[in-house]
Amino acid sequence: MAKNNQNEIDIVTTEKSKINTVDFNNLIFGRVFTDHMFVCDFEDGKWQTPKVMPYQAMSIEPSARVFHYGQAVFEGMKAYKDDDGKVFLFRPEDNHRRINKSAARLAIPEFPKDYFFNGLEALLNADKDWIKPGLGNSLYIRPFVIATEAAISASPAATYRFMIICSPAKAYYNAPVRVLFAEKFSRSADGGVGFAKAAGNYAAQFYPTSLAQKKGFQQIIWTDASTHKYLEEAGTMNIFFRINDTLITAPTSDRILDGITRKSVIQLAKDLGIKCEVRQVSVEEIKNAAKDGSLKEIFGAGTAAVISPVSAFEHADDVFEIEQIPNSYAMLFKEKLMHIQHNIGLDEHGWRYEVVSK
Ligand SMILES: *Cc1c(COP(=O)(O)O)cnc(C)c1O
């Protein structure tokens, strides 16, 4: 067991890596975790010395507040390796900023930037063999914070645990998804927590999504909670519509998560001279565009799948099929983003962040 200290992180590496037991050609998303994890506890009003240690189960009191009141937030990011073995993150400052924005809304103390970056670097160095080169291969990184205080009074906890776990992800062909436009259920409301990556936001989508799946639609496009007239986002992805050659996406708000992939697509569209309108987009407008043939594409944008094309949508029992076109914007943005992430394409905006090898 190697023990050392890097930037005031206690690092204990595993005696025996399990990497040889993993079939990297047949990875199911989010099932397998790397050899190590990052842990930092908030106690006595401050974040304590962070640790990198072997990935393992942990013991938490049943009364920990996270189990009762869902005081928990998370992030989703990826590490990529180029053919020279260099490791990169994509716009990680935004993940740090966002987890603190989410945390503040859930009354969770913010996590210091140097702890976040030093922790990520130490963890990725310990697990660097788990990041495979090759376009589309990546290591999915899941930072999260949970309320650990053992007390079931309904108020913010006094103790928390910040952790980072990592799961190798394979380049996969994501088949176009069929989606349902929400008419009854809502994901978020004005003044709520829709903008935050709060754990409870996802649990609340499982039931309506399972109903949609029974009807043959894999995902729901959420509409505004008060009128259900305006299209907002997909719940783990932001959403773009292409009418003729113009892209349209809803503005972010306290109901919509400010996705890093979304804002990267908006910037790339600008770079490529593709018109992109950030404005409210109504169900009616998209149905009319589907009817008159001007609706060319719908696609989701998020870290996990990068870009997910939509092949059909349903609203008020009307089903509209969307023909998958060659040279789609969806595929153009996916390729551009992946090339930047894997250090193949020019990084005009400084989005790549190289993780220094130790
Ligand atoms: C994570 C997430 C997205 C996508 O954000 P990225 O930063 O692009 O990964 C979109 N919507 C919701 C609700 C999300 O949780």
CB of 196 shorter than 6 A to ligand 1: no
Q: Using a 6 Å cutoff on CB, does residue 237 contact ligand 1?
A: yes
Gap between the Cα atoms of 167 and 28, Å rounded: 10
For the CA of 98, the closest atom of ligand 1 is: 7
Output b/e per residue, 241-254; b: 16+ Cβ within 10 A. bbbeeebbbbebee
Span from the CA of 301 to the centroid of ligand 1 (angstroms): 8
Which of 99, 237, 252, 341 gets mutated to test ligand 1 (max ligand atoms within 8 A of its CB)? Answer: 237
Q: How far is the CA of 232 from the centre of ligand 1 (A)?
A: 12
| Terminal-to-terminal C-alpha distance of the chain | 17
Ligand 1 geometric centre to CA of 314 (Å): 22
What's the pLDDT score for residue 172? 64
- The CA 203 to ligand 1 mean position distance, Å, reads 15
Q: Which residues contact 57 (CB under 8 A, 6 or more apart)?
A: none
Distance separating alpha carbons of residues 182 and 163, to the nearest angstrom: 34
Report the pLDDT value the prediction gives residue 214, as an integer from 0 to 100. 98
pLDDT block averages, 10 residues each, the chain of length 358: 65 97 93 98 98 98 98 98 97 98 98 97 98 95 98 96 97 84 97 97 97 97 97 96 98 97 98 98 98 98 95 98 96 97 96 93
Cβ of residue 193 lying under 6 Å from some atom of ligand 1: no
- Token pair 């509209």: residue: 320
pLDDT for 357: 84
Domains defined along the chain, listed by start: 2-169 (3.30.470.10), 177-325 (3.20.10.10)
**Dist. CA 14 → ligand 1 center (Å):** 32
188 lines ligand 1 (CB under 6 A): no
Strands 77-81 and 51-54: unpaired
Going from the Cα of 97 to the center of ligand 1, the distance in angstroms, rounded, reads 14
194 CA: nearest ligand 1 atom: 13
Single out the residue of 254, 240, 286 nearest to residue 187, CA to CA: 254
For the Cβ of 91 lying below 6 angstroms from any atom of ligand 1, the answer is: no
Nearest to 310 by CA among 223, 230, 220, 196: 220
Q: Is the minimum distance from the CB of 308 to ligand 1 under 6 angstroms?
A: no
Q: How far is the CA of 201 from the centre of ligand 1 (A)?
A: 12
Q: Give the per-residue pLDDT at 1.
A: 45
d(CA 278, CA 276): 7
For residue 76 and ligand 1, the question of a CB distance below 6 A is answered with yes
Are 68 and 83 a contacting pair, CB within 8 Å? no
Q: Which atom of ligand 1 is nearest to the CA of 235?
A: 13
Q: Give the pLDDT confidence score for residue 4 in this predicted structure.
A: 52
| Nearest Cα residue to atom 2 of ligand 1 | 236
C-beta atoms surrounding 197 within 10 Å: 24
- Token pair of 13 as six digits: 């590496």
Would you state the pLDDT for residue 6?
53
